[in-house]
Amino acid sequence: MITLHHLEKSQSIRILWLLEELGARYQVKLYDRDAQTRLAPAAYKAVSPLGTAPVITDGDVTLAETNAIADYILDRHDDGRLRPAPGAANRAAYLFWFHTAQGSLQPLLTNKFVMMALTARAPFLARPVAKSLVGALDKAFFGPRLAALLREIETALGKSKWFAGETLTAADIVMGYSMELCAHRGGMTEKDFPNAFRFLKQMREYPSYIRAMEKDGKGTILL
């Protein structure tokens, strides 16, 4: 049976949601972040080959990386409902958003937030320099890329209810966590991105997402 090693306030919520949506048989082991560093605790790092969340174990298999885990679970439990098959009309949209979540959006958000946190923690005298370097990098690289992605998200969600059509797919499940981050710290405002906020509302009200959040037990996925 699959065991999800679930780190609080992390990308692991996607896997919990996926397992709940599929009605898969699984168990979940909850881990709190290290109180000082806010990273995964030593017990978690002992399980995960990369030391990162999420990670699952299943018999002899230990698997990290969100989308590798998602595909592993979909291989076993999905009949094509959450992962449109080759040739399906929504296959291209599905592939784009499933991979954009982890290939572009989440790395942009993570890098941006890490740099912001580093600036805040820089020694007092070095802070103005750190701030100006981070600001320049944001202006030249992170900002424009994130803005382009947010525009694309808003356009896509103006055309269909979910990212790959009118019903939920695994692309929505991986995009969901990053969408919360975009709204919280990524500059995605309700005024400018109403379709994106409609997505967030329908995700938060989705029964399997609510069950996943109950199993998570923290009431928030934000750090």
The residues of the shown chain that bind ligand GSH, judged by CB under 6 A, are: 10-11, 39-40, 51-54, 64-66, 102
Instruction: State the minimum distance, in angstroms, from the CB of residue 110 to ligand GSH.
Output: 6
Contact (CB, 8 A) for 18 and 73 = yes
Give the HSE-up count for residue 90: Cα atoms under 13 Å, Cβ half-sphere.
23
Q: Which is nearer to ligand GSH, 11 or 100 (CB)?
A: 11
Instruction: State the minimum distance, in angstroms, from the CB of residue 83 to ligand GSH.
Output: 17
Q: Which is nearer to ligand GSH, 203 or 221 (CB)?
A: 221
Task: For residue 137, give every residue at least 6 positions away whose Cβ sits within 8 Å of its Cβ, in sequence order, or none.
Answer: 115
Q: Which is nearer to ligand GSH, 34 or 192 (CB)?
A: 34
Instruction: State the minimum distance, in angstroms, from the CB of residue 10 to ligand GSH.
Output: 4
Contact (CB, 8 A) for 98 and 171 = yes
Q: Which is nearer to ligand GSH, 24 or 39 (CB)?
A: 39
Q: Which is nearer to ligand GSH, 10 or 169 (CB)?
A: 10
d(CA 175, CA 205): 16
Instruction: State the minimum distance, in angstroms, from the CB of residue 34 to ligand GSH.
Output: 8
d(CA 88, CA 82): 12
The token pair at 58 is 């299943």
The residue with tokens 């990386």 is: 65
Instruction: State the minimum distance, in angstroms, from the CB of residue 2 to ligand GSH.
Output: 16
d(CA 176, CA 199): 8
Q: Which is nearer to ligand GSH, 50 or 125 (CB)?
A: 50
Instruction: State the minimum distance, in angstroms, from the CB of residue 176 to ligand GSH.
Output: 13
d(CA 129, CA 201): 39
d(CA 127, CA 220): 30
